[in-house]
Amino acid sequence: MSDTVILRGRTVVPGLAEGEALVSSETVSGWGGIDPARGVVIERRQPLYGQSFAGKILVFPGAKGSSGWAGFFQATRLAGTAPSA
């Protein structure tokens, strides 16, 4: 039996990633839902609340909110807390 799971979804940035996946069946808010400085989900009603996404493959069905996601994920890159995918 293999522990390998292949997930396919809509690509935001093309490429390949391999590693631990942090998976939620719920949407995530970029504005106020994540702490870019720590790389942690801080949205209290999100099943991933309190978990670090830094260096992990972040998988969720969609984003809540507006275009704030781009700025927040850029902030995670600058802080060294970005997800790997």
Contacts of 49 (CB under 8 A, 6+ apart): 41, 42, 43
Scan for tokens 């994540």, then name that residue.
Answer: 34
Question: Of the listed 2, 24, 66, 67, which one is catalytic?
Answer: 66
Residue 66 is a catalytic residue: yes
Return the active site residues.
66
